[in-house]
Structure 1
């Protein structure tokens, strides 16, 4: 299995930490967020990962050079940010085996059960499966509504008045057909791509931990919360 790990974000709201490092190398409980993701992907059988870089790319390369893994890890440098959909379009050659693949945002911290999500995707025959998490303050994320079969019937990115509490978790599984649906004008998955795929997207309700490490306050919260998660469950989200 392959995975895109979107890690090129500058992390403006995490300054001053990101004045000297990329967002993906900001540490949570002693490990860079990038490392937490690589461990999760490897646990779930991913064999090849493509990471996009932009801000302090040399530091990402240095980290990966010293990181021990059985996975094949590739990087692609973006002098100018392409946007999440733009990165997929520019690197479509990475997906050549016809198998479903993961798309993950490196600034989210989670222990989502990727194997269970893959089973949902395989059974749905959807173009895209999107992880969704019920949240108390969903207006900061894309919001989905599902039908009885779990199909996404509406999606709105960061609405002022959310119609549901099901928020986009920033974890996807895509069929190769998805790459054919990305046109040259699309740059962002949430704003440009997902709204055009409504009806072909399966929702996956996740119950594991999820936090967007986008601000200093969210990083501080993760430092308090993540150790409790690690001591209670494994990478499958199952109790230890």
Structure 2
């Protein structure tokens, strides 16, 4: 299945990236000469996505101006200038701009590089893996040794069955949530109208054995603080050299 619509969560304040984010939204912080969000949009376009909703709040005008320069995908703006909605509330609000159905969701500041050219991309694999009959959501997850810039926190355990549970010390195959979801937008039809964290839906899916994960191919990059930029650029340069 090719999923042709997506939402990118991009409205956060980026407080840990200060002072850079005092004057620029975090998704526009350049990494190896490109804004972080452009790495994310490239991944979505490669996977066949045609329409993307992006929420904006911090330095919203800069975000809108930057996104208007993209001509390879239709971009719809979910405006959160008046109120930040957190990850869950922002997603629920933004998805109302799309027809109901399967959708990919990504964070604007998490991306990956170095996928195997001979295999379907991570997002294509995630789209094919998602089975709404038995899953609320399918999350792209990354093994600890494929992360750059991560603080070491282990989010889930990923067994061979693919069914995710919250990680407890000593459990096999700890993984990090890589910031990409395949889901059906109708899952959030009962969502609160105010701000809430998406972890509520993760935990509900776990309680019903309906949260699944797929391991990421390549190297995952997160840039949470200014001093992480150098590590990210070093990883990008190393992967480019290996090709």
TM tier, shorter chain? 0.7 to 0.9
Q: Equivalent residue of 2:78, what SS?
A: strand
Please name the residue that 1:149 is paired with: 161
Change (3 A) 1:124 1:151: farther
Partner of residue 19 from structure 2, selected from 2, 16, 19 = 16
Q: In 2, are the aligned partners of 1:108 and 1:170 still within 8 Å (CA)?
A: yes
Please name the residue that 2:226 is paired with: 216
Q: Equivalent residue of 2:24, what SS?
A: coil
Q: In 1, are the aligned partners of 2:78 and 2:93 still within 8 Å (CA)?
A: no
TM-score, structure 1 normalization: 0.84
The answer to whether structure 1 residue 171 and structure 2 residue 180 are counterparts is yes
Change (3 A) 1:119 1:11: same
RMSD over equivalenced CA pairs, Å: 2.5
The number of residues matched between the two structures is 226
Q: How does 1:98-177 map to 2 (within 5 A)?
A: 98=101, 100-111=102-113, 113-122=122-131, 125-135=134-144, 141=153, 143-152=155-164, 154-155=165-166, 161=169, 163=171, 164-177=173-186
1:110-161 Cα shifts (integer Å, max 9, x gaps):
1362111211114974120011111169875461124442112x226xx8x5
* Structure 2 Cα separation of the partners of residues 140 and 120 of structure 1: 27
* Structure 1 Cα separation of the partners of residues 134 and 63 of structure 2: 35
Structure 2 unmatched runs, 5+: 114-120
* Structure 2 Cα separation of the partners of residues 35 and 123 of structure 1: 29
Change (3 A) 1:68 1:95: closer
Q: Is the deviation greater in 177-186 or in 209-218?
A: 177-186
Please name the residue that 1:196 is paired with: 204
* Structure 2 Cα separation of the partners of residues 122 and 110 of structure 1: 24
